[in-house]
Chain A
Amino acid sequence: MRFSQQRGFGLTVLIILSVEIVLLHWFYAGSMTHLAYLTGWGLLSVILLLALYNGRKKVPFFPLLSSEEWLQFHIYAGLLTGVIFAVHISYRIPTGWFQGILAALYLLVMASGFFGLFISRSIPKRLTTRGGEVLFERIPAVRRQLQEQAEKLALESVGQSRSATIAEFYLRELKPFFEGAQNCTSHWSENASPVNHILTKISDVHRYLDEQERATLEKIAALVRQKDGLDYHYAQQMLLKLWLFVHIPLTYSLLVFTVVHVTLVFAFSGGAK
């Protein structure tokens, strides 16, 4: 099944289920006294299923659908929880501290999920457009290679032209740039001004160099561009991992609150509505 077909199927099922849930809630709201309990249990069940996706990734050997199929289910089931949540709270903003925090946690998990969905759909396209694909774990090693190459070029220029202009320029301006990941926030916002600033400095140095040094500096400028591309990959791939630092912990906090919520509801309602 192609991705577009997959998306169409998922959205259709989601819309049908949502409409059904809303209609059933409207129809049974008067006759079923404990409807809120049922919608609550339904919501908790779906949330638990969603949370299982993280566990599924930990047991890749288990023959339970592919990770891609789990992800699709995770996305559409997550959207469905929004509808169940709305009917569970009867379309009212919860009052009270506990219920307010519980609702806020759910909304934060939902919002972080939307953010994750957005960046997991948009960042790969950006990375492909930019080129220079590299595994996240290998980025430090590649960065080290680039740094060594740049340092080597700078040192060689001293012997070739008997001038330390490039070496001094490297030490002063380029060494911090090559040493680690730089300009993450600029890369998140697709802002190229930091690397343009460095390239401008490099072009400014051109007037003080001879032909041989200029060729060397051009090579260094190419390394700067590669390093900037590497930083871009690092920043974007880091964002793909960082959003989970919000989504997963909040999910477990939500589950803890939910357990207490279920306990409080049954302990204090005494069977009442």
Chain B
Amino acid sequence: MSERLPPPDFNTLQYERPNMKWVCGKASCGQACRLGPDSKGRCRVTSECKPAYEIKPGEKTGRYRCTRPTEHGGPCPGGPLPDGTCCRRLTRCAPVLSLRAKRINFTICTVIVTTGLLLVALCGPARWNFISPGPLSQQHSTFTFAHRAKQDEKGNCAVCHTAARTGVASWFLNADKAKPGPHDFRELASTDPVGLTAIDQNCLQCHAGHSFHEPNVVDERSCGTCHVEHQGPGRMHSPPDSACLACHADSGVMQASIMSAASLPAAAFDYRPVQGREIFHEPRPRDGYTRVVHSFSRDHPEFEFIADRLKDPDTLKFNHQLHLGSTNVTAIKARKLTCSDCHQPDSSGYHFQRISFDLHCQQCHSLQFDVRNPGLRIPHGDAEHVRAFLQSATAVRRLCRRQTGVGRPGAGAGLRRGTTGAAAGGVRFGRGTGASRLFQRSPLGSRFRAGRRHRDGFGGISRLRLLPRSETVPYRRAAGDRSGSAGSLADPRQFQPCQSPRQRPQRRRQGALLGMPFGGKQQADIGHFAAAERNLRRVSQPQRRRLRKLLHVPQLPHPAEGFCDGPVMLIPTTIHGGLLPSRCRRFCRARIVYHG
């Protein structure tokens, strides 16, 4: 930087007192008085000196002498006044706090402000949020928890923490009474497993008997040893390996668990709360899960679910994202779906009611499939019922034949027998079923042929396929029909002849173009029609018109707008394990039309 400076000259006789609380007000100007303020911050100066009265030998009366020290200039030339006061009076200053005293005051103020803010935060309405070490997991953020908190009227924390039921002043007492307490260092440093604590008693109100673990636990361990809360939202963090190994690495504990399990009924191991859910249970090993494990990576056995290649048979998955965010759902409900539209609490308020198709799904996903027979619905929930319903087509056909005369040989208005369903897109029925035989004998049945490939094993209709050209086939309930079937297929004479075999390759190409996989062999569903619509937009206008005319691809309205008037029949055709695929449910709102 610049050249090194010499130390400045100053009076070394003048002693500085940085530890004093008050300093002279003129010190900042470099004119601090010699005396300085007192301990209470009051200026004490009156004059530069206090003259001394001296009587010299041989004198009767003495005289005043100036006592100003040398470092402040020595005796003044004027000297003391006749009355013994200094002639050089000083103006008083306003002493100021030293830097150290200011720091102490600032520290005290900071501590006071900190304490005040803490008290405000701890006594205010947001104290639970303030002291919470983190958000609860989703398992403890449920309606059940909120309901319990409402019952306690002390907030969420009081459900688990006893201290939250008392005031701030009692927290110190609660802390002192804690087991182990703040001063129980021996217990704090102990490596013995911790038994049930005060907070665990509140856990057991919901999780009685270690209901989150196999019931053959031999040690009463604190829940918090393994299951640590306040680690953030989402699923509760899995227990660390060390928590599992505390028991599962001990052969004695595991042996005791086997003995304990022997005395428990089998139902005791079905400990997971069902709460209206269908839970997949893997079979429990003979000795339970008591194999001694020393390390998860070293000797932990493969999970049974993976080792035995188990599979949850329930393939139905509910798409929350679609239902809560789809514009289609919004249009149907005229508003967006919310959680409470389906998930409604039960009377106890602890759990939710089971989702019911009638209450929660049917409003949008009606099983009605014919607008002219609104009472005709596919049964829901039981695959056997659905099969029976589909088999009732036999009765439908019989009634149709009786009423219209159709069904007698030769009365089929040009319908050809034996048309290959795959190429012609005809409706097929399972071979050997009653429906198949009846249809084969009737003019209507002459259009269909039972095919081995299309048997579905249900003993009923296997598939309904696209027809190249068709007309509306209305359902009509027959008078006196008590067969259980809801209606009948009427006037099959409206059907047009199927395509000839020569037309099949062309149909396949067109079917592929129109979004129907496998060259139009695939069953018709709404997805195919939608794909066809999309594909049609990509082709030229004349080609589009020709294809439309040929295939009668319908303009499907949205289900919310009503039923389709076009010559389209959309029927849930494939039945998978007794469950109607979601796509099929959508068809049910459309009118049944055989499409060609």
Contacts and interface: CB of A to CB of B under 8 A. Distances in A.
Interface of A: 28-34, 37-38, 41, 94-99, 129-138, 140-147, 180, 190, 192, 195, 225-226, 228-230, 241, 244-245, 248-250, 252-253, 256-257, 260, 262-273
B16 A96 contact: no
B222 A33 contact: yes
B2 A30 contact: no
Contacts of B176: 266
B179 interface: yes
Contacts, number: 215
B111 A256 contact: yes
Contact of B197 (A130, A140, A271): A271
A87 B456 CA distance: 64
A146 B29 CA distance: 12
A264 B114 contact: no
Nearest to B114: A253
B199 interface: yes
Contact of B30 (A145, A226, A250): A145
Given A30-B243, A32-B189, A95-B134, A264 B171 contact: yes
Contacts of B180: 34, 37, 271
22 contacts: A37-B188, A95-B135, A129-B4, A130-B2, A132-B5, A132-B8, A138-B16, A140-B32, A142-B10, A144-B29, A195-B2, A241-B99, A252-B107, A253-B114, A266-B174, A266-B178, A267-B174, A268-B161, A269-B197, A269-B224, A270-B163, A271-B222
10 shortest A-B CB distances, which residue pairs? A30-B242, A144-B30, A270-B198, A132-B5, A131-B4, A272-B224, A95-B134, A249-B110, A266-B175, A271-B197
Given A131-B3, A145-B9, A271-B180, 17 more contacts: A34-B194, A37-B180, A97-B131, A98-B133, A133-B7, A140-B30, A141-B31, A147-B30, A228-B2, A248-B103, A248-B107, A264-B171, A267-B174, A267-B178, A268-B163, A271-B194, A273-B224
Contacts of B198: 270-271
Nearest to B240: A30
Contacts of B32: 140-141
B76 interface: no
A137 B135 contact: no
Contacts of A195: 2
Given A140-B30, A267-B171, A271-B194, A130 B8 contact: no
A37 B437 CA distance: 81
A230 B131 CA distance: 50
B230 interface: yes
A273 B242 contact: no
Interface string B71-114: 00000000000000000000000000001000100110111001
A264 B131 contact: yes
A272 B232 contact: no
Interface residues of B, number: 80
A195 to B, nearest CB: 8
Given A140-B30, A141-B32, A252-B107, A41 B185 contact: yes
B10 A130 contact: no
B491 interface: no
Contacts of B232: 95
Contact of B194 (A33, A135, A263): A33
Most buried by B among A28, A241, A270: A270
Most buried by B among A33, A256, A265: A33
A273 B133 CA distance: 13
A98 B162 CA distance: 19
A99 to B, nearest CB: 5
A53 to B, nearest CB: 14
B182 to A, nearest CB: 5
A267 B163 contact: yes
A89 to B, nearest CB: 11
B390 to A, nearest CB: 57
A28 B191 contact: yes
B397 to A, nearest CB: 68
A141 B7 CA distance: 13
Contacts of A138: 10, 16
Contacts of B340: none
Nearest to A230: B8
Contact of B242 (A31, A134, A248, A266): A31
B27 interface: yes
B199 A269 contact: yes
B205 to A, nearest CB: 14
B129 interface: yes
B171 A273 contact: no
Given A38-B188, A269-B199, A95 B230 contact: yes
Nearest to B104: A248
B52 to A, nearest CB: 27
Nearest to B178: A266
B246 interface: yes
B263 interface: no
A133 B7 CA distance: 5
A147 to B, nearest CB: 8
B222 A263 contact: no
A34 B188 contact: yes
B195 to A, nearest CB: 9
Contact of A249 (B1, B111, B178, B199): B111
Nearest to B135: A95
Contacts of A30: 240-243, 245-246
Interface string B166-208: 0000011011101111100101111101100111100000000
B34 to A, nearest CB: 12
A273 B226 CA distance: 9
Nearest to A181: B28
B356 interface: no
A271 B179 contact: yes
Contact of B5 (A130, A145, A264): A130
Given A28-B191, A98-B131, A257-B118, A271 B199 contact: yes
B18 interface: yes
Interface string B9-35: 111001010100000000111111000
B132 interface: yes
Contacts of A265: 175
A134 B12 CA distance: 11
B134 to A, nearest CB: 4
B191 to A, nearest CB: 4
Given A34-B189, A225-B5, A263-B175, A270 B110 contact: no
A109 B527 CA distance: 65
B531 interface: no
Contacts of B28: 140, 180
Contacts of B27: 137, 140-141
Interface in B130-175: 130-135, 157, 161-164, 171-172, 174-175
